[in-house]
Amino acid sequence: MDATAAPLEGVLAAARAWLAQDPDEVTRAELAALIRDAEAGDAAAADDLHDRFGARLAFGTAGLRGRLGAGSNRMNRVLVAQAAAGFAAYLVEKAGSAGTDAPPTVVIGYDGRRNSDVFAQDSAELFAGAGLRAILLPRLLPTPVLAFAVRHLGADAGVMVTASHNPPDDNGYKVYLGGADEGSQIVSPADAEIAAHIDRVAAEASVADLPRGAYELADEAVIDAYVAATATVAPAPAGAAGMNWVYTAMHGVGYETLSAILRLAGYPLPVVVEQQIEPDGAFPTVAFPNPEEPGAMDLSFATAREAGAEFVLANDPDADRLAVAIPDPAAEGGWRRLTGNETGLLLGWRAAQRAADAGLVAPASLACSLVSSPGLETVADHYGLDFHATLTGFKWISRAPGLVFGFEEALGYLVNPETVRDKDGVSAAVALLGMIAEAREQGRTLADLLDQFAATFGFFQSGQVSLRVDDVSIIARIMAALRAAPPTEIGGVAVERFEDLLTGDEDASADVPPADVLRLRLVDGSRVIVRPSGTEPKLKAYLDARGDSADDAAARLAALDAGARALIAAAQA
């Protein structure tokens, strides 16, 4: 046997063992064909098997997320079964350590992606088979409903089967903890502890031999409770009458729940983007079902032009994010999507005003991820509130002490932390509708609110440079190059301070745990933050500038953008 045959034989053995325990006819046929072709000498099939079995989808604080297909490096029923059994073992162990006699309770939700319902049902059966009380939500629903259900039902944990706004061929497995974690997503060390249990199951058990049991189907009262709680975020004021707006679910699961809330809260229903309003895991009208991506909201804008709408709201497919667009004659097509920072600052302003009206001061707080606009700290200072900058992800934002509002620039907003400890694009939509309706009472628009914010707090501009790669090692090389030779200027402006949050050196602040993040502060008050994406094969540079006017801030941001692109290109060379 030659040197190249031995690794293939190992991969073939792993593939055959996987095939023997795979309950899915589709992935079984897919894998059987690859094995047959690789055994016959097909190099492409062999390469495909190496990709599928040369690694394993890693379970981390974001749970699992990857492309659908057979193999340990794909999302499929075998991998999900191993994850469910491992998570169940973790919950049983945790309950035992706490001296709890009652079996742990876990709630499972799912969205409209391919196989989400199958993965959710498998998980519910395996949780029940492991002795847990398993409660499956009654139909496909937004991720925030699952996060709500964990707290509402007093569950020990929750699982949401979703890949959020990832490409159509992806799916994922997001994990929440109840109790002291209050329905937030997992953080370290829980991720490593769960991963160890999953790896043990994968090594020691066949999925075919894992016990399954009977699960409960959640009552509609859980969804009714979420609808009722979210409607109280912003009951419709008089200014909501006659509101003309457009909404898209982007082929996701948001509209059924949102429309029920709108009726209860008293808002007029929107003009919907008919081609995208029903759940469809194939996402036929968008290349990438993420409202941030170019072209993703084109149908929304066309619908808005035809309807003469005042604004557009869009949820991503699992409705945990919210995008907002307003008419803008200077924009292509006459519509401009607000950045996540613009929307987050408006909602943060709203939250701070309401906190002040309720007599709240520090330690009540506003929080955002460290890559989101520094403008939120200015708002917090203005109203006497605390401010916290966290690592990216709502698993961190939701844990900020005294939280009354949190956001991150990637269109995520947490407006009702007493109800949902995760980003929630549905409740954020209701909060924003309330702001718009109140402005309408005074003859003002959403654009006017943006102008008022700038006049009150200053002119903030944010941008982002993204590098998508096929080989993630490129990202590591760029980060290493920047650490080895920190830049002294960006876009012609001197770097005042270079902070490496991974090493926690003397220039890095202690406000977040160690992370693979570089933060560069410039002498003019601008900021550049560079980090790998946590969910996609991307390197991201987040740019923030503050100017004396809108034009000044825009000019500073443009210089930052050009400088950041040059910096990344040089580090990649």
Amino acid at the residue 364: A
What is the predicted pLDDT for the residue at 404?
98
What is d(CA 250, CA 547) in angstroms, rounded to the nearest whole number? 35
| C-alpha separations of 185 from 60, 141, 143, 401, 554 in Å | 11, 18, 12, 16, 36
pLDDT in tens, 35-48: 999 999 999 999 99
Q: Which structure tokens are listed for 270?
A: 């929107």
Q: pLDDT class for 504, splitting at 50, 70, 90?
A: low
Q: What percent of the chain is predicted at pLDDT more than 90?
A: 92
Kindly give the interhelix angle for 425-441 and 143-152, rounded to the nearest 10 degrees.
100
Contact 109, 99 (CB under 8 A): no
The model's pTM = 0.93
Q: In this predicted structure, what is the pLDDT of residue 537? A: 87
Mean pLDDT, all residues of the chain: 95
Residues 6+ apart with CB under 8 A from 125: 134, 212, 213, 214, 215
User: Directed axis angle between helix 77-97 and helix 116-129, to 10°?
Assistant: 40
- pLDDT bin (cut points 50, 70, 90) of residue 511 is low
Residue 5 pLDDT > 80: no
3 pLDDT above the threshold of 50: no
Note the pLDDT of residue 512: 76
Residue type, 166: N
Burial class (CB in 10 A: 0-12, 13-18, 19+), 473: exposed
Report the pLDDT value the prediction gives residue 97, as an integer from 0 to 100. 84
Among residues 300, 181, 184, 192, which one has the least CA distance to residue 245?
A: 300
E-assigned strand segments in 130-181: 133-136, 157-161, 170-177
* Token pair of 442 as six digits: 């005074």
For residue range 144-174, list pLDDT tens digits in order. 999 999 999 999 999 999 999 999 999 999 9
Question: Cα(298)–Cα(465) distance, rounded to whole angstroms?
Answer: 22
Residues 374/462, Cβ–Cβ less than 8 Å: no
Residues recorded for the chain? 573
Phi and psi based region of residue 210 (left: phi greater than 0; alpha: psi -120 to 50; beta: remaining): beta
Is the per-residue pLDDT at 536 higher than 80?
Answer: no
Q: Which of 72, 164, 184, 369 is catalytic?
A: 164
Cis peptide before 291 (omega within 30 of 0): no
Q: Which of 4-18, 284-298, 545-559 has the lowest mean pLDDT?
A: 4-18
Smallest CA-to-CA distance from 89 within 192, 161, 193 is with 193
Task: Out of 55-64, 82-91, 330-339, 531-540, pick the least confident.
Answer: 531-540
In the chain, what are the domains?
A: 79-218 (3.40.120.10), 219-457 (3.40.120.10), 460-572 (3.30.310.50)
Map tokens 């009206």 to a residue.
357
HSE, CB side, 13 Å, CA atoms: give it for residue 207.
24
Q: Could you confirm whether 372 is annotated as catalytic?
A: no
Cis peptide before 23 (omega within 30 of 0): no
Assigned token pair, 133:
């009380």
**Residues 322, 314: contact at Cβ < 8 Å?**
yes
Q: Specify the pLDDT at position 505.
A: 57
170-177 and 64-67 strand pairing: antiparallel
pLDDT tens across 232-266, in order?
999 999 999 999 999 999 999 999 999 999 999 99
Cα-based torsion angle of the residue sequence 494, 496, 501, 505 in order, rounded to the nearest 10 degrees? 130
Residue range 171-183: mean pLDDT, rounded? 96
What's the distance, CA 75 to chain centroid? 18
Using alpha carbons, select from 155, 196, 534 the residue that is nearest to residue 370: 534
Instruction: Tell me the per-residue pLDDT of 429-461, one tens digit each, with 9 for 90 and over.
Output: 999 999 999 999 999 999 999 999 999 999 999
Tokens, residue 344: 């987050």
Element (H, E) at 525: none
The conformation of residue 243, written as its DSSP 8-state character, comes to -
Q: What is the pLDDT of residue 273?
A: 98
Are 86 and 198 in contact by the 8 Å Cβ rule? The answer is yes
Residues 373/410, Cβ–Cβ less than 8 Å: no
pLDDT of 370 > 60? The answer is yes
pLDDT at 56: 95
